[in-house]
Copies of this chain bind each other. A is one copy, B any other.
Amino acid sequence: MIRPDADCLVNGRPAATIDVADRGLAYGDGVFETIAVVDGEPRLLTEHLQRLERGCRRLGLSLPQPGDWQSDLDQTDLPRYGVLRLTVTRGVGGQGYAPPRSSRCTRITRVLPAPERPVDWWRAGIDVRWCDTRLAIQPALAGIKHLNRLEQVLARAEWNDSAIAEGLMRSTGGQVIEATSSNILVDAGDRLLIPDTRECGVDGIMQQWLINGAQSSGVNVERASLNAEALMGSHGIMLTNSLVGLWSVRRINQTPVPHSPRAHWLQGRIAEHRLALMPEVVTR
């Protein structure tokens, strides 16, 4: 049906398919990472592999061997600019939901094209909307990037307007947590605030990198429980992920919000380190 493709390795071998019995398909029983490839190099790879490992430990998945990913990358023809998606599932086996006693995980390494976005989204900021779909409160799965992503799919399906770049998601408890595929940084003037992810949400790699840099520069960063009012009354809202780097939010549901004076500085730091697929970095 599908020819093996060098852009995808399954357990180290070129393959474009996986076993239909894989628990990744049956139950979303696994974790993944989405990594920017810039100048032919996966960026923040160590940090991404650390989060993948945290996810594997949380779910009780057997870890890929340390050399496995490097061996995959050695076999992979990485583009100058693109996306690397790494996935680990619990593999095949077990009886129903019961995990197999000893399982070999399935390791998937895929190369995808860089998504195309309007340059203006980095320069002028983005329009976003509030999503109706809420994030359920589930501490057992909070923070890690697992394969159970129906909430994000439902939230992203709420709009078709290509002028809306992202959707902001609240928990069922009403706290602002993240956007469908990016994390939130709130400029509170004297400090940066990031939503608490102990109940739900994904701990972002780029968000953490930006936090570390901000703290090194003497900026205070705090985790906070944020509601919609706190966002609307802030000095600026930024969305960040490993692919786009950072966008400043211009409007939420057509209501203008302040542009953070820190957005340009943070974008500059990402561009300087060539970490994300930003217009300043990608020359097509």
Residues of chain A touching chain B, judged by Cβ–Cβ distance below 8 Å, are 1-2, 8, 10, 13, 15-29, 32, 59-60, 87, 89-90, 95-99, 108, 110, 115, 133-134, 136-138, 140-141, 146-157, 172, 180-181, 200
Cβ B20 vs Cβ A15 within 8 A: yes
Name A92's closest neighbour in chain B (CB-CB): B2
List, in ascending order, chain B residues with CB within 8 A of A98's CB. Answer: 156-157
List, in ascending order, chain B residues with CB within 8 A of A8's CB. Answer: 20
Cβ B149 vs Cβ A140 within 8 A: no
**19 A-B residue pairings within 8 Å (CB atoms):** A1-B10, A2-B19, A10-B20, A17-B17, A18-B20, A20-B108, A23-B153, A26-B147, A26-B149, A27-B150, A27-B152, A90-B153, A97-B152, A98-B156, A134-B140, A137-B137, A141-B150, A148-B148, A148-B149
List, in ascending order, chain B residues with CB within 8 A of A148's CB. Answer: 27-28, 148-150
Name A85's closest neighbour in chain B (CB-CB): B26
Select which of B2, B28, B108, B180 is within 8 A of A28 by beta carbon: B28
Cβ A149 vs Cβ B110 within 8 A: no
Name A24's closest neighbour in chain B (CB-CB): B25
Cβ A172 vs Cβ B97 within 8 A: no
Instruction: Tell whether A59 pairs with B150 under 8 Å between CB atoms, given A17-B17, A20-B17, A24-B25.
Output: yes
Cβ A28 vs Cβ B95 within 8 A: no
Cβ A20 vs Cβ B96 within 8 A: no
Cβ B20 vs Cβ A97 within 8 A: no
A133 to B181, CA, bound (A): 26
List, in ascending order, chain B residues with CB within 8 A of A16's CB. Answer: 19-21
Name A99's closest neighbour in chain B (CB-CB): B157
List, in ascending order, chain B residues with CB within 8 A of A24's CB. Answer: 25
A149 to B156, CA, bound (A): 20
Instruction: Tell whether A29 pairs with B150 under 8 Å between CB atoms, given A20-B108, A95-B115, A157-B60.
Output: yes
How far is the CB of A6 from the nearest CB of chain B, in Å? 13
Cβ A22 vs Cβ B25 within 8 A: yes
How far is the CB of A11 from the nearest CB of chain B, in Å? 9
Cβ A149 vs Cβ B27 within 8 A: yes
Cβ A136 vs Cβ B133 within 8 A: no
List, in ascending order, chain B residues with CB within 8 A of A137's CB. Answer: 136-137, 172
